Amino acid sequence: MSHSCGVDFGTSNSTVGCIRPGASLLLPLEDGKATLPSVVFFNAEDNTTTFGRAALADYLSGYEGRLMRSMKSLLGTGLMDGQTEVQGRAVPFRELLAQFLRELRLRAEQSAQRQFTHAVFGRPVHFVDDDATADKLAENTLLDLARKAGFADVAFQFEPIAAAFTYESGIQREELVLVIDIGGGTSDFTLVRLSPEGTTKAERHDDILATGGVHIGGTDFDKYLSLAGVMPMLGLGTRLTNNNEVPSSYYFNLATWHTINFAYSQKVWRELQDVYRDAQEREKLARLLKLVDQRDGHWLAQKVEEGKIALSDADAVPLLLDRLAPDLAFTLRRGAFNTAIAHLIESIRTSVSGLLADAGVGVDGVDTVFFTGGSSGVPLLRQEIASMFPAAAHVEGDLFGSIGAGLAIDAARKFS
């Protein structure tokens, strides 16, 4: 019985996989599902901690407490060495991340009925763009957290390469594959030569033509949809009596998953009351004050995320914000969403073009574009990639499971 596993600690969702003859590579972690949302809720009313979907449910039910989501986004930033208040005490972010990884390991062990001491962790091609020192620091931080969570031996694999291993297990001939992995926090790309024979290789360095990535993901799509479509209803872009704009920093924090809690400090509350008194459109600022007072930032972010997902299948989606005002509702439109994220999609396109240039491969040389990652289904992204590779086959993997399954395969190779 192997004691190795693959761990995909994601910005939005996490999975753990291992080789189990006759069974799925991915282990069920919550309610029979293979994904565990990367969420922790500290319930201040009964001094308990919940994870995943249960954590979101407790928060949205109105329990007093602190919700943490998109914790992986802290890696490689100055916030990693900070702390937050949890149940009346200051807790370092490092401790919170280690606690989530420990819970992830324990659930996986319970599901597999074995201990996991060895793990291959997925990592983005770039934790931090254009800063090799900060990127290495982020990897070392994740290594330290994984060991604190109980993994004795830890290796790393680029997430798009892990996804490539999953795709390779089902192909019949050699293919030059471009893996497009759009996760919650990063977009990662790998150009790799895959073949049926490749599944038996322990070392794949010679098959990887190029890797690349950019620090853009699903939470960024959420952020700019919120800023463009929702935050103006709360006063973003409105003016004070002196004709200056209402400061935008409050809205940016509330639109970004891992900084929402920053809006709840006493200092910010006092500032917002001053802003309200000087606002030209007080009814909008009143909604902002109510949102902060009720600590409904994560609820709003959840509503925006749900709207973003719905826009993949519809041109317009109604959004009801009745927690902020009775019958407050408006419509999110795909056209406005596309405009809001156009600069992000252009950055992704530029990164993919750079990857091909590094590999010395033209667009006609790519046989298959393989999509994975929960945010790779955004229609504008698919349209742009399709226009870049009109002759390639376009294959959609398990958007939430390809990486975890590939990491399980890699763990079996590395630690067998």
Query: What's the CATH number where 9 sits?
Result: 3.30.420.40
Extract the tokens encoding 298.
Answer: 């994560």
Give the DSSP letter of residue 1: -
Amino acid at 394: H
> Residue 135 belongs to what H/E stretch?
helix 132-148
Specify the residue for token string 């189990």.
20
SS3 state at 385? helix
**Phi, psi of 253, rounded to the nearest 5 degrees:** -65, -45
Residue 201: predicted pLDDT: 77
Entry pTM:
0.87
The parent domain of residue 74 ranges over 4-172+397-415
Residue 22: predicted pLDDT: 87
CA distance 370 to 220: 22
- Answer yes or no: is 68 within a domain: yes
Residue 85: predicted pLDDT: 79
Residue 309: predicted pLDDT: 95
CA distance 232 to 382: 28
Residue 60: predicted pLDDT: 85
CA distance 25 to 162: 13
Query: Dihedral sign, CA of 289, 294, 295, 301?
Result: negative
- Answer yes or no: is 157 within a domain: yes
Residue 181: predicted pLDDT: 94
Residue 1: predicted pLDDT: 63
CA distance 320 to 306: 11
- Answer yes or no: is 228 within a domain: no
- Answer yes or no: is 112 within a domain: yes
Residue 406: predicted pLDDT: 94
Q: Which residues of the chain have pLDDT under 50?
A: none
- Answer yes or no: is 203 within a domain: no
Which of 187, 181, 219, 188 is CA-nearest to residue 71? 219
151 within 8 A of 118, measured Cβ to Cβ: yes
Residue 297: predicted pLDDT: 94
Query: Largest Cα–Cα distance of the chain, in whole Å?
Result: 70
Quote the number of domains for the chain. Answer: 1
Which of 386, 406, 376 is CA-nearest to residue 182? 376
Residue 72: predicted pLDDT: 92
- Answer yes or no: is 309 within a domain: no
- Answer yes or no: is 272 within a domain: no
- Answer yes or no: is 348 within a domain: no
